Chain A
């Protein structure tokens, strides 16, 4: 089945630095990937839709200059948290959409990245 790899699994960074998170589709091509953020004991909130070869589409309230998304190939999307601050600490999860044969489009998730900004 479809596999999505996300790295790193966890990262600790100093306030003011930038952190890059990678999301790869391992056995399929993903023209569209999605980035979510999850706070403790809450649900997943969609941050942006990443489209291969074009600009990402951000959800309302998400700062595009702080959360830079690049989808340069059909198997890789990256999320860069720029000038990170403690309030950016969270669990970030990526997802890729794939056509699951006759059933339609399904969504597979990476294992997530736990970001702690100190």
Chain B
């Protein structure tokens, strides 16, 4: 099956800093979503982005489907951005496959 790799596994920032999270996948995808899992476990959909670039406030994402990677940009980070960021893809079936996540800690 498809492999999804996220980097870095852990990231510690000071409030106000910018960051880039990366997701590599091993095959072509029909769907790619970025999620934020908050400390209570809720998965919040950030972007549906199988290709192209999207922006939502301080967050933006870019997927280069031909090179099989996606990037999530967080600008002017806030403590509420802390949590785990997951990249998940669908390839050839309806199953959503998750990467191992990037744990982000934003310190005040």
Seen from chain A, the residues whose Cβ lies within 8 Å of a Cβ on chain B are: 32, 34, 38, 42-44, 46, 49, 91, 93, 95, 97, 100, 103-109, 111-112, 114
Contact = CB atoms under 8 A, between A and B. Distances in A.
Interface of B: 30-31, 33, 35, 40-43, 45, 48, 50, 86, 88, 90, 94-101
Contact of A34 (B41, B48, B95): B95
| A interface, over-half SS | strand
B86 A44 contact: yes
A108 B95 contact: no
Contact of B30 (A38, A49, A104): A104
B40 A49 contact: no
A95 B37 CA distance: 14
B76 to A, nearest CB: 25
A112 B42 contact: yes
